[in-house]
Amino acid sequence: MTGQIELGLMVAQAYKSYGNLQALKGVDLEVVKGEFYTLLGPSGCGKTTLLRIIAGLELPDSGRVFLGGREVTHLTAAKRQVNTVFQSYALFPHLNIFENVAFGLKARNFDPTQVGRKVGESLEMLSLSGLEKRYPHQLSGGQKQRVALARALVNEPEILLLDEPMSALDAHLRAQVQEDLRRLQRSLGTTFILVTHDQDEAMMISDRLAVMNNGVVVQTGTPRQVYSKPTNQFVAEFLGAANILPARRQGNQLFTNLGPLHVSETPYWEEGHLAIRPEHIVLEGEIPQGSVNCVRAQVREAIYRGQSLDLWLDPGPLRVRTNTRDRLGPGDQVSLFFPPDDLVALDNQPSRY
C-alpha cells in the first residue's frame, strides 16, 4: 500500500456501527507527524469512536489504520506506540502519583533506575514535582489532568490522543491549560490528536482540524481555512456565527434577497447558499456611487457583547458584528459592504450531513 503519510497517521475508510447506530460511515484521515490535530464536532458525531480506533481500544468494522507507515489496524492498544489522556483522566485511584506515571514503563519491564529517572523528568516537565507520594483523590482537577498527561507522555508515544481533556476544568483554568498544552506540544514535537466539541478551543490550539458530523469528516484544513472558507452549511454554522443567504446563479452573477452579489469563486450550482461571517461584513458610512456588493439596511436589534456589538438587520435576518465604538441602535440606517473574498459559496449537498 502506498500513499500513506510517512511516519504520520492515516485512517482509510473506517466504518463502525453499534447495533443500528452507525458511528462512523467511511472516515478518511491523514495526520502529519508532529502536528497538533483536532477532531471537532458535536456530541455523537463519531469523533470519540475515531479516537478509540486510533488508540486500539476499538476495532473498526472495516477500514485500516496506519501508524508511521505501518498497518496497526489489528494491533491492540497495548501494542501501539499511542497513549491516551482519557476524559475522566482514569488515574489509578489505588496508586500514588509516582506509580501512576510509572505504570506504562513498569508494564514493559523497564529497569527501576530508568523508571525513576523518566518519571522524575516527566513530573518535572508538568510541574508536578513533590506530588509523587500523593494519591489521585488528594489532587485538584488541574493537577489530575497534568498527571494524566505525564502518565501518557512518559512513554514517549508516537501520537498522544486527548479525549476532551478540558471538559472537566472550569472556564478560567481551561484557557490557561489550552495555552500550556499548545506550548507543550510545540516543545516536544509529538503528534497530538485532540477530540473536542468546543470550536474556540479547536481554533486556538490546532495546526489543522477535521470537522465531523454524523459519522463523517465534513471538512479538514487549518483553522483559518475552515473558519473563513466553510464548504457547507454545517461547518459554517458550527464554527461560530454565519449568515446563510439563499442565492440563484445566472452566469457569473448571483442574486439574493439583498440584491446581486459578486463572489470571488463562482459556484457550480444554479441554486444554493452563500455564507459570510458577521464580522466580515463591513459597515460603511456612505456607499460609493456604482459600487458592487453594497446594501442599505436598517438596524432591528443591537446586542452589546462587551468586546463586540452584534446588529440584527432588515432585510434579513442578517447579523453584522462590529466594534463597540459604533453607537448604533434600533431604527438606524446603515450601509453594508460584502467583500467578495469573504462571501463563500457553500457546497450544495446538505442531505449528506
* Interacting residues with another protein (CB under 8 A): 55-57, 76-78, 82-84, 86-88, 90-94, 103-104, 107-108, 151-152, 155
In whole angstroms, the minimum distance from the beta carbon of 57 to another protein comes to 5
119 or 281, CB closer to another protein?
A: 119
The C-alpha atoms of residue 193 and residue 111 are separated, in whole angstroms, by 30
Q: Cα separation of 300 and 53, whole Å?
A: 49
Cell digits of residue 56: 486500539
**Minimum distance, C-beta of residue 147 to another protein, in the bound complex (Å):** 11
In whole angstroms, how close is the CB of 106 to another protein at the nearest point?
Answer: 8
DSSP 68-128: TTEE-TT--GGGSSEEEE-TT----TTS-HHHHHHHHHHHTT--HHHHHHHHHHHHHHTT-
Tell me the closest approach of the beta carbon of residue 90 to another protein, in angstroms: 4
228 vs 232: CA distance, rounded Å: 12
Q: How far apart are CA 135 and CA 122, in angstroms?
A: 17
Q: Which is nearer to another protein, 103 or 238 (CB)?
A: 103
Report in angstroms how near the CB of residue 248 gets to another protein at its nearest: 52
Nearer residue to another protein within complex by CB, 91 or 263: 91
Helix (H) or strand (E) holding 28: strand 21-31
Residues 144/165, Cβ–Cβ less than 8 Å: no
Helix axes 97-107, 141-153, angle to 10 degrees: 20
First to last CA, the chain: 30
Nearest-approach distance from CB 58 to another protein, in angstroms: 10
- Closest CB to another protein among residues 107, 241: 107
Work out how close the CB of 227 gets to another protein at its nearest, in angstroms, rounded to a whole number: 32
Q: Which is nearer to another protein, 148 or 239 (CB)?
A: 148
Task: Between 77 and 283, name the residue whose CB sits nearer to another protein.
Answer: 77
In the complex, the smallest distance separating the C-beta of residue 165 from another protein, rounded to whole angstroms, is 12
The three cell numbers of residue 270 are 444554479
CA distance 254 to 330: 29
Minimum CB distance to another protein smaller for 43 or for 307: 43
Instruction: Give the list of residues 6+ apart from residue 112 with CB closer than 8 angstroms, or none.
Output: none
306-313 own/partner pairs: CB under 8 Å, 24+ apart: 308/279, 310/278
**Phi, psi dihedrals of residue 207, rounded to the nearest 5°:** -75, -50
**In terms of CB distance, is 58 or 342 closer to another protein?**
58
**Which residue, 196 or 243, has its beta carbon nearer to another protein?**
196
CB of 101 to another protein, least distance (A): 10
Q: How far is CA 294 from CA 133, 197, 335, in A?
A: 66, 36, 7
